[in-house]
Amino acid sequence: MLRLTRTLHRKTLLSTLLAAVTWASLAHLALAADPVPPRPMPHAPAGGTLTIAYMRETSSPDGFQALGTFDRMYFFTGNDTLVAIGKDGRYDPTESPAYAYDVLDEGKRYRFHLRQGVQFQGGLGEMTAGDVAWSLNRIHQPDTGSRWSSVFRALDRAEAVDRYTVDVFLKEPDANLVIRMFDRGSIVHSRKHWEEIGGAVQHKIHPIATGPYQLQDWKVGVDQKWVKHPQYWRGAPMADQVIVKIITENRTRLAGLQTGEVQIAWLQAEQVEEARKDPNIKVWAFTGVGWDGWAMMPGLAPLDDLRLRRALVKAVDRNALNKSIYLNTLGASDGHTFPSTSAFGIDAKDLWQGEPLKFDPPAAKKLVQEVARDKKLKMPVELHGSCEQRPDRQLFCEFLQAAWEEIGVKFTFKVVSNAAERLAVNEQCQTHITQTGSGVVGPHDMESILLSTGTTNVSARVCSDKGHKFSPADAKVQADMDRLLNEATQQTDVAKAIDIYKQVQRLALEQVWLYVPVLLRINYIGCHIPTTGGCDTNPMRGDGFIRVGDFWRK
């Protein structure tokens, strides 16, 4: 048995204990661990209203049902995950309802130890092992609004051992299990409340969890209002109220931050430099947390032809795109989802700067003409897409539209409000291209779109049942991808796991598989210094996002 009170995020696993041992040897290790006291709130209660500016329509304040990488910015206002990620990207037991865990049965069982006295909002009583087990078991129940079954594909079930102990049983070992729980899949909700209000649909708009603030009101497309949870287990929240205000227009969002009407705001390209010039605003950045680009469906003709997928990449000048839309606030890349200088990054200059993917419109046009001739398609070749109603993403789609027109591809796209609506549109299996990005904090996050059962791998997960089939060559790519990703997640030797994840990235890039990570993401947030506490050091966590509970009104 091995009990861990502090285990590193996969991003920094090279220095962890798990790099040197196997599950077999873990079973013979035992480390004592007393209950870890919760970390006190960073400031005494200061009262007032903390206002956060969010850049698109929110998905769901219950967190578990929220879909979209950026939704982390608001749903942690009221929700705790079973195990929390710290600012260093590691499991932080002092901020986790589970203060420790044991690895048992050669990695096929995890035992989580719960701290006592964690209270649900609304006077619904103490969080128990029963609530935790029930919350985790929702993952494989479609009627709960879960999108996380593929993420936790190794999870068989969770069972309460006693009031403060939960066992999680796996079908096969998963070296990434705890890291997966840093996100919404392990949010703990009150089973009693869920059942009393009638299940997922009502809970989506009336959630009860254990976080520092309780949802009071949600006006879709306008704002969310949260009030403090006076029995929060880490101590009284620092603000009386939190408002998440939806401000989609960049200049308006920046103006609110400049005047102090808004204390914290997500910053996009055109806001960053102007915000940095304002002495009342502190701008913080977090690099290497994902990618921006587009996703495509190789099972939907004519994208079942690798030549066309490569042509679409070769037609796009990535440097011009970064300069014109993102004002050089994103990162150039000769790798895949990670910087080539990182532990997990690959050096793929031979692809990005060589014949397969280099910017070369005449060569791209020739490939399109070949595909049209061989498949008897009319020119221009027509592709349909979806694009979020965000200024930068709509500009991105317009950039693609213009670039692809030059090579004989007509690209038309539907505008959608957020990530949840975008996925719903794609699941109609008529959409070839979706402009998107993704947070990729650990390499296992690639599973979401590359694995055949991945949440956003619509080609394999949904559309194969609607008549869209992979070509024989693409079917082999998907099978190879599944095999490699399954091997990697069960590999407890970190050096070997890294090698497998690099193979996955190489294969995906060579085959232009499902998504095209043309730029590396850098996340930016701004704090209004005169009115906001918590901005003196970078407030972003190891996933590149903030937690509203770290801020207070001065």
The per-residue pLDDT for 441 is 79
The per-residue pLDDT for 33 is 56
Kindly report, residue by residue over 233-247, the tens digit of the pLDDT.
999 999 999 999 999
- Whether residue 313 is predicted with pLDDT greater than 70 in this model: the reply is yes
Kindly report, residue by residue over 271-299, the tens digit of the pLDDT.
999 999 999 999 999 988 889 999 999 98
The per-residue pLDDT for 420 is 83
- Whether residue 16 is predicted with pLDDT greater than 70 in this model: the reply is no
Confidence band for 4, pLDDT divided at 50, 70 and 90: low
**Average pLDDT estimate for 490-513:** 95
Dihedral Cα 464, 467, 470, 472, nearest 10 deg: 120
Residue type, 405: E
- Whether residue 140 is predicted with pLDDT greater than 80 in this model: the reply is yes
The per-residue pLDDT for 48 is 97
| b/e burial code for range 429-457 (CB count within 10 A of at least 16 → b) | bebbbbbbbbbbbbbbbbbbbbbbebbbb
- Retrieve residue 187's tokens: 């949010």
DSSP 368-397: HHHHHHHHTPPSSEEEEEEEESSHHHHHHH
Q: For all residues of the chain together, what is the average pLDDT?
A: 91
- Whether residue 317 is predicted with pLDDT greater than 90 in this model: the reply is yes
Confidence band for 185, pLDDT divided at 50, 70 and 90: very high
- Whether residue 29 is predicted with pLDDT greater than 80 in this model: the reply is no
The per-residue pLDDT for 110 is 97
Task: Please check whether residue 137 is in contact with residue 144, taking contact to mean a CB–CB distance below 8 angstroms.
Answer: no
- Whether residue 315 is predicted with pLDDT greater than 80 in this model: the reply is yes
Confidence band for 19, pLDDT divided at 50, 70 and 90: very low
The per-residue pLDDT for 423 is 85
**Average pLDDT estimate for 103-114:** 96
CA distances from 225 to 44, 66, 123, 244, 509 (A): 21, 17, 19, 7, 43
Distance CA 9, CA 32 (A): 21
Q: What is the 3-state secondary structure (H, E, C) of 236-248?
A: CCCCCEEEEEECC
**Average pLDDT estimate for 308-331:** 95
Task: Please check whether residue 100 is in contact with residue 36, taking contact to mean a CB–CB distance below 8 angstroms.
Answer: yes
DSSP 213-259: EEEEEEETTTEEEEEE-TT-TTSS-SSSEEEEEE--SHHHHHHHHHH
Confidence band for 524, pLDDT divided at 50, 70 and 90: very high
- Retrieve residue 195's tokens: 């059942």
The per-residue pLDDT for 10 is 32
The per-residue pLDDT for 384 is 97
The per-residue pLDDT for 22 is 33
- Nearest CA among 285, 123, 90, 120 for reference residue 191: 120
Q: Which domains does the chain have, with CATH numbers?
A: 2-238+529-553 (3.40.190.10), 290-522 (3.10.105.10)
The per-residue pLDDT for 342 is 86
DSSP 442-501: SGGGGHHHHSTT-TT-HHHHTGGGGT----HHHHHHHHHHHHHHHHHHT---HHHHHHHH
- Retrieve residue 336's tokens: 């895949």
Q: What percent of the chain has pLDDT over 70?
A: 94
Query: Which pTM was predicted?
Result: 0.85
DSSP at 355: T
Q: Residue 357 belongs to what H/E stretch?
A: none
Distance CA 230, CA 222 (A): 26
- Whether residue 550 is predicted with pLDDT greater than 90 in this model: the reply is yes
Confidence band for 8, pLDDT divided at 50, 70 and 90: very low
Neighbours of 122 (CB within 10 A): 16
Residue type, 144: T
Q: What percent of the chain has pLDDT over 90?
A: 76
- Nearest CA among 330, 350, 347, 349 for reference residue 339: 347
Confidence band for 527, pLDDT divided at 50, 70 and 90: very high
Residues sharing a CB contact under 8 Å with residue 366, sequence separation 6 or more, in sequence order: none
Angle at 175 between CA 169 and CA 177, to 5 degrees: 55
- Whether residue 543 is predicted with pLDDT greater than 60 in this model: the reply is yes
Confidence band for 32, pLDDT divided at 50, 70 and 90: very low
The per-residue pLDDT for 340 is 86
